[in-house]
Amino acid sequence: MGKKLQISNAQRVEAVMALLTRGESASAIARRFKISEGSLYRLKDEFSSGQERAR
């Protein structure tokens, strides 16, 4: 099992929203938040599945 991400929940939301709404690349966003691209995409998937459950 990997390490726990060391970013806050607010930063997680900010990173996912940047990925979904801005023209910025995933690699640039991941670098800015000091996480891997894989972690960023996993956060996006978790965020998306959470949105579906909220409906």
Residue with tokens 């409906």: 55
Cβ distance 41 to 18 under 8 Å? no
Average pLDDT over residues 20-25: 91
Query: How far, in Å, CA of 9 to CA of 44, rounded?
Result: 13
**Cα-Cα-Cα-Cα dihedral sign, residues 4, 10, 49, 24:** negative
Taking 80 as the threshold, does the pLDDT of residue 51 lie above it?
no
12 token code pair: 């997680």
Please state, in angstroms and rounded to a whole number, the distance separating the CA atoms of residues 21 and 41. 14
Reported pTM: 0.80
Asked whether residue 1 carries a pLDDT value surpassing 60, the answer given is no
Mean pLDDT confidence for 3-16: 91
Q: How confident is the model at residue 2 (pLDDT cuts 50, 70, 90)?
A: low
Segment among 17-21, 38-42, 51-55 with least mean pLDDT = 51-55
